[in-house]
Structure 1
Amino acid sequence: MKLFNRPLKQFLSICFLLITGIFYGQNGHVTINQASELERLLEIKKNMNLTDTATDRYKIQIFSGNRSGALEAIALFNETFSEWPAIDVYETPNYKVWVGSFRSRLEADRALDKIKETFNDAFRFRPKKVEKPQDKN
């Protein structure tokens, strides 16, 4: 003798699955506690990444020549573009103006397209590594 017929077994199985899903379902609430200084530190880190002189980053050179020309190029660049920092670098016998600190070649190329509208001779490069002498202690 059968206690339950087939449709009743299917109905009870589905009800059982739904009820267990309700009882074992997870209702979560996530609270993130962070130090108030974290936002300030993240901003400092972001600024360090923009002005980083690491050699594994790409830069764009917008000028090479005398010192007064470099200062004029920096002033014009800062008026036109505010999203990338510009620095002057002295490499004998010229002053050079380098812009940005880009992590990828693609990022540098996108910036170069915008910069070339104002500075036609601009180009992307990766600075050479400078070996630092090690202490002989």
Structure 2
Amino acid sequence: MKKRSFIFTAACLFGFSLFSNAQEGRVTIKQDEMIPKLLALKTEMVNESRIADRYRIQLFSGDNNKASTVIKEYRALYPQWSSTIVYETPNYKVWVGNFRNSLEADRALLEIKKTFPAAFRFRPEKK
């Protein structure tokens, strides 16, 4: 009886080991070499706001000298959000941030309005 159970157990273990070896496999992924290039291009375009809907905050619109003063004051107080001066005929505008959604922009706007009460959130037109 012991001999039979030993043979049965050995046969079962041998069968399970064959079954488990049959389940192992290798996966080979072949992709076009353009895919990494396209992903890098998309990332660059999103970072430059060329394809994503982004929000900004405008602090000022007017002459160049006052825009320079406003952006210097802003940068001293809020270095965490980027800022730039944009020229749209006939005014220079101080724009802040590059926010992914309106909630993120509104949170920043609440903080910025403490110093710049005329600030407002907007979505720039795509070029």
Range into which the TM-score falls when normalised by the shorter chain: 0.5 to 0.7
Query: Aligned pair count?
Result: 82
Which consecutive residues of structure 2, in runs of 5 or more, have no partner in the other structure? 1-42
Q: Deviations over 1:20-54 (max 9, x none)?
A: xxxxxxxxxxxxxxxxxxxxxxxxx8xx84xx344
Q: Which residue of 2 aligns with 1:91?
A: 88
Per the alignment, residue 22 of structure 2 pairs with none
Please report the RMSD computed on the Cα atoms of aligned residues, expressed in angstroms: 1.6
For residue 120 of structure 1, give the secondary structure of its aligned residue in structure 2. coil
| Residue equivalent to 2:62 | 65
Q: 72, 76, 92: which is aligned to 1:75?
A: 72
Give the structure-2-normalised TM-score: 0.61
> In the alignment, does 2:101 pair up with 1:104?
yes
Q: Percent identical across equivalent pairs?
A: 54
Higher share in helix: 2
Provide runs of 4+ in structure 1 moved above 3 Å.
52-55
Please tell me the residue identity of whatever aligns with 1:69.
Answer: K
Q: Normalised by the size of structure 1, how large is the TM-score?
A: 0.56
